[in-house]
Amino acid sequence: MPKPIIGWELESPATDHIFNDYLSVRNGRLHMENLDLAQLFLNEGADLKVDDLLSSPLEIVYLPIIRRQIEKMRHLFAEVMSELEYIGQFHYAYASKANAAEEVIRTTLEAGADHEMSSTVDVEIARLMVTRGLLTPDRMVICNGFKPAGSKYVENIIRFKSEHANIIPVAEDLSELTPLIESGLSFDVGLRQKSYGAHQDEVEMDQYNSRFGMDLSDIWRAADYIAAAPNLNLKLYHAMVGSQILDESKFVDWLMPPMDIYARLRQRNPTLNIDFGGGMPVPMTLDFDFDYPRFVRLLLKTMQEICSSYDVPVPDIMGEFGRYTTSEHGAHLFKVIAVKENNSDLPWYIIDGSIMSSFPDSWALGEHFIVLPLSNIDEPFQQVQLGGITCDSDDIYPPKNSPSPLYLPTKTDDLFIGFFSIGAYQEMLGGVRGSKHCVLPEANELIIDQDEGGSYTFEVISGQSESDVLRNLGYATTYR
């Protein structure tokens, strides 16, 4: 098993260390870009313009990183397209399933992203964004997810068509075309190939055990139905091969069979473009070395070669970026409230919140995230294990059987720590509001942005009170 690097791995202090492009140590404190994170709790006369001194645990929502991610990827595609003389456009869609919070969707739309969704409530979110003038008529709305005839989702998509014409339902299954045909409305539609997983060629891809999308024979049948339907136009060929794919060549190799099918479909469908779905990796630990320019160059070159061999023009290319857009904008800060030496292998540092309910992928999938101290960084470190405050044996970090050591400062007075790169999926999987494991209330949230002059702006969203939790579980609200 490769050993993810999840933090500082030495006993010496991490003085003035740069961990990645947004986390660095200055004056003994961890900074997220230019923000001293410990200062949110320790204040010390600094004028952060946050209304009150904040308490831990605290969720950080750092919006400038979302904008930066979108800009970086668009810039990269523009550069490589120009270098390769690729005659087609790149479309960046935000995959809203990674994090559907209002401030996240708003920020992606303000940054110019197209929008990808997967359920009927997503349609309601898009409707609100149209009303607010953020989801403008030029933006594509890609509707993935299951939407069989009679489902609320497909009915809502059909209703939404009159409010936002630029909507593209992507059929996962042949039967999903029927309600669209019967609606009588003119739809650009997409078809989703069953392409998820590792495969060498079209035959392996077709045989792969995946519930997403259609096999090749159904793709051809669906294309015929669409060609025969007076109100449908085949616009998008969707093929997603996986998630957090860390090898550029493998990513493109797995996309090759879909690219080949795209080119064959394109011979009969002149408006067709390609959408490689999600999968774009993002650093969740400190050992990440995916080469984005190499991936984009390989992808576009391969597309050019395949299209040329079938004598069709290259398509516009869309990606649906979930984890890539949102992972790094989220952090969750805790205080170390006790150190427990009970003759275990390593000292336990107990924090004032739950690891497992805040980051479900850490115990469900053994996923690693970056963990760093916010304060006391210029003190010696020791190897430790973290314990959450629930009574669950899985509420620990590093995950069980992890090969990665975790080092934190030996000085634990006013020791705050942060989990980083947790902004994609974790909050949605753990649930927003609702009741959590061991009835722990949800933490406060701090939304951080920058004004035009680069100064930080803050908005605090209250978490749950004890009575919120009790009410939620059906207890009478007389509790004070």
Contact residues for ligand PLP (CB under 6 A)?
95, 97-98, 116, 144, 240, 243, 277-280, 320-324
The least CB distance from residue 170 to ligand PLP, in Å, is 8
> Two tokens at 327?
């992972």
DSSP letter for each residue of 101-143: -HHHHHHHHHTT-EEEE-SHHHHHHHHHHHHTT-S-TTS-EEE
**Minimum CB distance to ligand PLP smaller for 14 or for 142:** 142
SS3 418: strand
The least CB distance from residue 144 to ligand PLP, in Å, is 4
**Minimum CB distance to ligand PLP smaller for 29 or for 238:** 238
The least CB distance from residue 124 to ligand PLP, in Å, is 19
The least CB distance from residue 277 to ligand PLP, in Å, is 4
Give the 3-state DSSP-derived string for 216-240, with helices as H, strands as E and coil as C.
HHHHHHHHHHHHHCCCEEEEEEECC
Nearest to 350 by CA among 368, 337, 363, 341: 337
The least CB distance from residue 279 to ligand PLP, in Å, is 5
In the complex, which residue's CB is closest to ligand PLP? Answer: 278
C-alpha 390/C-alpha 438 separation (Å) is 6
**Minimum CB distance to ligand PLP smaller for 97 or for 297:** 97
C-alpha 125/C-alpha 425 separation (Å) is 17
**Minimum CB distance to ligand PLP smaller for 280 or for 300:** 280
C-alpha 180/C-alpha 169 separation (Å) is 9
Residues in CB range of 29: below 8 A, 6 or more apart: 36, 37, 38, 39, 374, 375, 377
**Minimum CB distance to ligand PLP smaller for 320 or for 379:** 320
The least CB distance from residue 320 to ligand PLP, in Å, is 4
C-alpha 202/C-alpha 216 separation (Å) is 9
**Minimum CB distance to ligand PLP smaller for 95 or for 312:** 95
Residue 415 main-chain phi, psi, to 5 deg: -95, 115
**Minimum CB distance to ligand PLP smaller for 174 or for 438:** 174
The least CB distance from residue 8 to ligand PLP, in Å, is 28
DSSP helix, strand, coil percent of the chain (3-state; round to 5): 35, 20, 45
